[in-house]
Structure formats: C-alpha cells, structure tokens
Structure 1
Amino acid sequence: MSPVLVGSAGLGLLLILVLARIPVAFAMFAVGFCGIWILNGLQAATGLLASETYALASNSELIVVPLFILMGNVASVTGMSRRLYDAAYATIGQVRGGLASATVIGCGGFAALSGSSVASALTMGRTALAEMDRFGYCPRLSTGVVAAGGTLGILIPPSTGFVIYAILTEQSIGRLFMAGILPGLLLLSAFLLTVTLLCTIWPGKGPRGPATSLAGMRRAFAGAVPILGVVVVTIGGIYSGVFSPTEAAGVGAALVIVIGAVGGTLTLRSFWEAARSSIVTTASVMLILIAAHLVNPFVALSHLPAEVSRLLVTLDLGTYGTLTLILAIYLVLGCFLEGLAMLVLTLPIFLPVILSLGIDPIWFGVLVVLTLEMGLISPPVGINVFIVKSVARDVELLDIFRGVLPFWIAMLGTLVLLVLVPQLSLWLPGMM
C-alpha cells in the first residue's frame, strides 16, 4: 500500500473514531502511532512518542494554557463575569432588546477573561437567561444570543483556540492574540446589530427593561472596573511588549486571585474548585497536543499534504478560490467535529498549501478560528447550543438552533469581510 493510501486510510479512521465519540486524544494517539509504525517502523513510532511527550511537557511557553484557564475559572467562581453583565445592562438594558445586547457585551467581556466559548455560554446562560425570561424576551432570541455570544470566547484574546493554532503551526501567540482583537470587536458589533435589527422588525422579541438610575450605573461600573483593568493590563502588556503572552497569563491569573481574595469573593473552597477544573482542562489540552505531534509526522510521512497541494494547483482556483474552498471544508466539518479535532486533522494538510500560495498564516489563523466558532452553533453537533439547552431546559432544541441562525449569518458576513480585507486581521500584529 502506498504512503498516500496509508495516510488517507489513517485520517479516515481518525474521522470515524471521532464521530464515534472516542476521546479525540486517544483516537489521535492510536492513528498517529500505528501510522508511523506502518510507514517508518516501530522504533521510530516509540521514539517519537517519547521525545514529543517530553518536549511538550518541558516547553515553558505552554504554561500560558493553564494560567489563562485558571484566570477564567477564578473570574467565574468570584462572580466577575456577573459584574461585567451588570455594567452592560446598566448602560443599555432600558432600550428595546437591551438585555440581549448586554448579554452579547457580557459574553465578549467574559470571553476576554476565560478564552473559552463553552465557559462563556454556560456562565452567561446561568446569569442572563433568567433575566431575559423575567422581562418577557422571546426564548429563541434569548437562547440564540447566549449560544452565539459564547462563541466570542475563541476569537477575542486570550483565546485557547489561538494558542493551539500557534503551537500546531509554530506561529507567534502574541501576534495571533493581536490579530484577533479587531475581528473580535467586529463580530461583537455584528451581533449587536443583529439584535437591534431583530428587535426593530419584531418588537415583541425584546421588550425594554427598567431604566437604571445614575447611582446604579456608577455602582455597576465600579464593580466592573477591577476585571476590566485585568483585561487592559494583560492584553495591553502583550501589545506594548511589556509582557510576553506567558508572562501576561501569569500576571492576569495573579491579579484575579488577588482581586477575589481582597474582595472576599474568593474562598479556599472556591479557589480549589477553580484550580481543580483548570488542571482537568489543561490535562485534556496537553493530551491532545501530544497526540497531535504524533499525527502531524504521520501525515507528513504519507506525503498527503503534497498530494493535496498538487490537486489544488491542478484545479487552478487561484489564491482566493483555494482559500474559499478550504474555508468551505471547515464549515462543513464544523457541523460534525469539535474545533480542536478539526485543527489537528486539517492543519497538517492545509498549512503547506496556504504557505505555498503566499497566504499569511496569521491571517489564515483568524479565518480558521472564526470558522471554528461557526461550528459551535452549527447543527447537528453545535456544542454551545447543547450547553444553552442544559440551562434552558424548557426551550426546544430546534428553537435554539432557529434562534442562532441570524447570528450564524452575521458570522458568515464577518468571515467574508475578513477574507476581503486582510488588514482587519493584520494591522495590529503589524504594529507590534
């Protein structure tokens, strides 16, 4: 059997295992190890397993993963995400659809802390759905807003999606973080515009909330100032060159712990819960990264990327045509696969292609991460939709998918704009 056939069979088996709900890391370990064994011998497979495991476990740059995860978990258990929501609500809650818009802003703010779309959807779902239900919001709008708003967690830095992409492609984490800022704000604005349009066309979907007094606004903003300061310090420190991404993660985690301890909202028990959750998540991410470093050499040994590149050149679609085809493949895969699995499966194949076409890998990273976001609310898998369903048990799953459709269209429009105007992604990294 030729190496290309072995590579194709291995990726096909990996896809089947992932769809069969075998843990992504275990599926990749099995396929990567056995594939290298077949193509290059057992000694090469065992040697690579040992060396890659040690290399990743001893890589000091990867400390950014547990530290940012810890920062988000501590912010969640101390109620900092609720204070972000309160500040947004105090500002625009009294306008039509204001609660939904406040939820989008709250999701964006919490995303900047946690870097996790699932955590954003779950936390904001618990906070915002009850409020919107109390004021008579349409369940489709309220659940759709939370599910879609949660996706901002993978685009607005610090983003675990960017960290994983950077490690798999050997790109700068700091530049990817900077590249995600303007697209993240653009997507947040597109969501706010979507809420405004929906509530203008169908006023009953988002009634006005009660007005907040000036004193109430001051209290709400005072409560949000510390955590907004953490965001400014960490992201601003990376941009200005004061911190590396790893140092910024340490500073951010330390600041939220100090703020929580001084404010009395962080107890030993809640800190233990946040730390335990961070360890579990970090272990899962590390397993996936180690497994990915087995799959990548297997794919390279199979010569599959070269064959795919040759096929795309034969199609003669041009740079933008090829990029559109790759993004379309990501959109289809996003309907069935979890984001990390998609990255590990596809990057070894597509990265050589986009580099050969002269496409900036930082720009491509932003486009890929945004496409992964769309998969979080795409049927039938749409993990954010199921997270919201676990909170809003009385809302039909089909209604939640209908609720996220306008926001999915807004994301598609944002993706098209980012494709047409690369500088929206590349301007800030170029200023570093």
Structure 2
Amino acid sequence: MMATPAIGLLGVLLLLALLLFGLRIGAALGLVGLGGLVIVLGLEPALIKSGVVVIEVLTKYELGTLPLFLLMAQLFFAANASRDLFDAAAKFVGHRRGGLAYAAIGGCAGFGSINGSSLATAATVGMVALPEMRKRGYDDALATGSVAAGGTLGQMIPPSGALIVFGIIAEQSIGTLFTAAIIPGITQMLLYMLVIWIVVRLRPELGPTSERASWAERGRALARIWDMLLMIALVIGGIAIGWVSPSEAAAIGATGAFAIAAIRGRLNRAMLKDAFASTLETSGLILLVIIGALIFSVFVSVTGLPDALGAAVRALDLGSLGTLLLIAVFLLLLGSVLDGLALMLLTTPILLPIVAEAGMTPIWFGIFLTRAMEIGFVHPPLGMNLYVIQGVAKDVPINRIFKGVLPFLASDFVHLLLIILFPAMALWLPGWIGN
C-alpha cells in the first residue's frame, strides 16, 4: 500500500535535504534507500533485498577495474606525471599567445586520462601550471579559468571513474562507455582551446607570448613522457579495440605505472605505502557509495516513481528533443547545488527509463550525464573545481575565478547541446569498432 510514486518522491526530497546538510553521499543513499524499503516492503524483506544488493556488488568482476585504475593514478602521480605532461605541452605551444593556457588544457587531458578525477586533475595540474602562467604575466582569470575547466576532462577522458561507477549502477559495459567517451572528450578539449584562442584574439594582453623552446628542449620533454603516453595508448586503445577487457587493461596500467615509477627512481617503501593507502581509502568510499546507490535505486524502482515521471513527461508531448533538453536543464539546475557523483547516483535510476523512451541508449545517457556532471564542477555556486583552484592560488579572489571560467562554461553548454543534437558523437565510435 505504501509503494506509491509519492513515497518515492518524498525519499528523493529527503535524500536531497541530507546531502545539502552535508551527510556523506554513500551513507545518505543507503539510509534513505533502506529506510524507504522498510516502509514499502517491511523490515525483513528490506534487509534481505539490501543484503542481496551488497553481495552482488562485492562479487562483481567489473568492480576490480576501479582500484587498479586508482593505483595506476597514484603511481603516475608519484612519477611527476602532471609536471612532465604540462612541461611537454608548454614546450610545443608555450611561445604562442595564450600558449601556456593551451598547455594547461593539454596537461589536464593527459593527466585526466591517467587519473580519472576532475578534482585531482585540477589540483595537480594547477599546482604546476598556475605559477608558470602567473609568472609570465597571464591574467589571473584566464589562468585559473582554464585550469578549472580543463580539470573536468578527468571525468570524461578514459579511464574515467565516473563512467566506471555509471557502468556498474546502470549495468552497462565499461569498455563501451570508455570508447563512447573518446570523441566527446576530444571535442570538449578542442572547444576549450577554441575559447582560449577567441579570448586572446580579443584581448591579447591576457595571454602574452613566451620564449620559443628549441627542438632539442622539445625532444627532451617528449623523452620524459613517451613511456606514459605509450601506457595510456595501450590501456585506452586496448579497451577500445577489444584486445583486453577494462579489468585487464587496468591491471596492465597499474603494472606499467609501477614499472615506470621504478625506472624513474620514484619507487620506495613510503611512496608505495601512501599509494596503497590512498587507493584503498578511495576505493572503499566509492564502494560504499555504489552499494548505497543501488539500494536507493531499488527503493525508487519499487515505488514506481520512474514510471510516473515518464508518464508525466510523455503528457507534456515535448518530443524526443524537447524531453532531452528538459532533462539537461534539470541536471544543470541540480548540478549547481549538488556534488557531481551525488547528481549521477541520484538521477540515474529516475532518468534512465525516461531517456530510453526518448529513443536514446544507456551508453549515450552515460556520456550525457557525465558531461552534465562535469559542468557542475565549474558551475557556481558549488563548482568544486573553482574552490580547488582557489586553494592552489590562494591570493586570487573567488569572483576572479568565477569570471575566468565563464567563457569555458559557455562552451560546456554548447558541447552538451551538440551531444543532444548529434548522438553519434558518443555512439559512432563504439558502433564502428564493434562492426
């Protein structure tokens, strides 16, 4: 009798309230989901169903992908990956107007393909790129805005932690999601570079030129990153072509990162202890979040809320394009006050059926949702990347960082619209490789 859409909606509102009051996302999802199941099904069925969810998650083979990619990121971080990637990009384009901002975007893309985290990418590349840009006379707004926006590439460019979590929650192929993210990730990076080009064309003083590096210096910079680039190509290419599964690719990546750190003389007991500790801590937190999200998803499904919302959207008769635009606006509004992972885990069980009715596949929705989630990282007032950058450049007022990210935010909206209008951006490459 209690399994009604109204109960599901109350659960969603309660979850939002708990998140806004600062309760950890995994605990909030699990508590609301379990409590809702108790109300709807009763205590014993709720405990049994939740127990089944926990066992299913803990025995998922795909879950091994996450800690291995996290370990790979920790080992590359110890090997100074962010500094070397930015330095190589700066050697090739730093002499151009706005060149160090281009290099920051390139460094974020490179490190994001290793790290898979928006916040970590913004922080680590920011610590390297921001001092260089400010020392060479770059405008604070352009410098901080480019790194804050570039950091979001860590969520899209494979291997992406967000896509791994989505794949587990939505029961979709992680390898297909990684392949689908390649073109959106590249076009996102190119749009950011176009923004920089436009900004420095209109106001050249914001991104002054630097001295041109010699080809010998460029060669030395490439020599410091060729091993990392080869490892990234093997991991992403192996998954895309189908040579290896995501779990196997993660194992190869972690082993390769271990070897690279050893060859570079960065491997020692203290570093390994920190790398393993960080990997285990982050993996445990994400595992708790996944379990909580799946319990919450079961609760929402039992109440019939997704079906009711789908019927309400159909009643509006907006058509496929109108429905997707409405969902985009909803995600952007919610993303301005919620953490990105919370946005993904809250909305996936509710919106996925609606998106399917609009004619889009779960793979496309995973890319679309991740892209909307990325925008939340740079969208005021929450915009976690903006505050991370302020933590790196403590003397830059937050309003300057907000101002600097606005042109990039505009390009984000354009990119999200392009993904809606041209679904092939996400679906063509997996289909082509699959054939």
TM > 0.5 between the two? yes
Structure 1 position 356, deviation (Å): 2.2
Q: Residue by residue, what CA displacement relative to the aligned partner does 1:68-127 show, whole Å, maximum 9, x if unpaired?
A: 111111111210221111110110001110011000000000000011111100100111
Distance across 2 between alignment mates of 1:2 and 1:242: 46
Q: Give 2:251's aligned amino acid.
A: G
Partner of residue 325, structure 1: 326
Structure 1 position 54, deviation (Å): 1.8
Distance across 1 between alignment mates of 2:423 and 2:355: 14
Q: Does structure 1 retain, via aligned residues, the 8 Å contact 2:239–2:245? A: yes
Partner of residue 8, structure 2: 7
Structure 1 position 344, deviation (Å): 1.6
**Deviating more after overlay: 49-58 vs 98-107:** 49-58
Q: Secondary structure at the match of 2:244?
A: coil
Distance across 2 between alignment mates of 1:359 and 1:103: 34
Q: Residue by residue, what CA displacement relative to the aligned partner does 1:12-42 show, whole Å, maximum 9, x if unpaired?
A: 0000000011101111111001100000010
**Deviating more after overlay: 60-69 vs 42-51:** 42-51
Partner of residue 70, structure 2: 69
Structure 1 position 253, deviation (Å): 0.8
Distance across 2 between alignment mates of 1:425 and 1:60: 25
Partner of residue 120, structure 2: 119
Q: Does structure 1 retain, via aligned residues, the 8 Å contact 2:62–2:168? A: no
Distance across 1 between alignment mates of 2:287 and 2:3: 32
Structure 1 position 357, deviation (Å): 2.6
Distance across 1 between alignment mates of 2:273 and 2:109: 26
Distance across 2 between alignment mates of 1:101 and 1:365: 28
Partner of residue 271, structure 2: 270
Partner of residue 293, structure 2: 292
Q: Secondary structure at the match of 1:376?
A: helix
Q: Give 2:252's aligned amino acid.
A: V
Partner of residue 152, structure 1: 153
- Deviant stretches of 4+, over 6 Å: none
Structure 1 position 358, deviation (Å): 2.2
Q: Give 1:191's aligned amino acid.
A: Y
Partner of residue 107, structure 2: 106
Partner of residue 219, structure 1: 220
**1:2/1:174 Cα in 2 relative to 1: closer, same or farther (>3 Å)?**
closer
Aligned pairs, how many?
Answer: 432
Partner of residue 237, structure 2: 236
Distance across 1 between alignment mates of 2:104 and 2:428: 28
- TM-score under structure 1 length normalisation: 0.98
Q: Give 1:294's aligned amino acid.
A: I
Q: Does structure 1 retain, via aligned residues, the 8 Å contact 2:3–2:302? A: no
Partner of residue 20, structure 2: 19
Distance across 2 between alignment mates of 1:90 and 1:420: 37
**Deviating more after overlay: 263-272 vs 400-409:** 263-272
Structure 1 position 2, deviation (Å): 6.0
Distance across 2 between alignment mates of 1:277 and 1:142: 29
Distance across 1 between alignment mates of 2:94 and 2:267: 28
Distance across 1 between alignment mates of 2:242 and 2:427: 17
Q: Secondary structure at the match of 1:237?
A: helix
**Deviating more after overlay: 179-188 vs 261-270:** 261-270
Q: Residue by residue, what CA displacement relative to the aligned partner does 1:165-210 show, whole Å, maximum 9, x if unpaired?
A: 1111111111110010011000100111111111111111111112
Distance across 1 between alignment mates of 2:135 and 2:306: 54
Distance across 2 between alignment mates of 1:408 and 1:289: 29
Partner of residue 314, structure 2: 313
Distance across 2 between alignment mates of 1:310 and 1:421: 26
Distance across 1 between alignment mates of 2:429 and 2:3: 45
Distance across 2 between alignment mates of 1:294 and 1:102: 43
Structure 1 position 409, deviation (Å): 0.6
Q: Residue by residue, what CA displacement relative to the aligned partner does 1:316-374 show, whole Å, maximum 9, x if unpaired?
A: 00011111111110000110001111112111111111122321221121111111100
Structure 1 position 308, deviation (Å): 0.2
Partner of residue 252, structure 1: 253
Q: Residue by residue, what CA displacement relative to the aligned partner does 1:360-400 show, whole Å, maximum 9, x if unpaired?
A: 22112111111110000001110101110111000001110
Distance across 1 between alignment mates of 2:129 and 2:275: 22
Matched, 1:189 2:190: yes
Unaligned 5+ runs, structure 2? none
Identity %: 39
Q: Give 2:393's aligned amino acid.
A: A
RMSD: 1.0
Q: Residue by residue, what CA displacement relative to the aligned partner does 1:266-317 show, whole Å, maximum 9, x if unpaired?
A: 2221222122111111111000000011101110111111110110010000
Distance across 2 between alignment mates of 1:273 and 1:76: 11
- TM-score under structure 2 length normalisation: 0.98
Distance across 1 between alignment mates of 2:416 and 2:330: 14
Partner of residue 365, structure 1: 366
**Deviating more after overlay: 139-148 vs 265-274:** 265-274
Equivalent residue runs for 1:152-171 within 5 Å:
152-171=153-172
Q: Secondary structure at the match of 2:225?
A: helix
Distance across 1 between alignment mates of 2:268 and 2:202: 47
Distance across 2 between alignment mates of 1:426 and 1:5: 35
Distance across 2 between alignment mates of 1:368 and 1:126: 29
Distance across 2 between alignment mates of 1:79 and 1:337: 32
Q: Give 1:427's aligned amino acid.
A: W
Q: Secondary structure at the match of 2:224?
A: helix
Partner of residue 382, structure 2: 381
Distance across 1 between alignment mates of 2:426 and 2:403: 30
Distance across 2 between alignment mates of 1:57 and 1:168: 13
Q: Residue by residue, what CA displacement relative to the aligned partner does 1:116-162 show, whole Å, maximum 9, x if unpaired?
A: 11110010011111101110110101110110000000011111111
Partner of residue 393, structure 1: 394
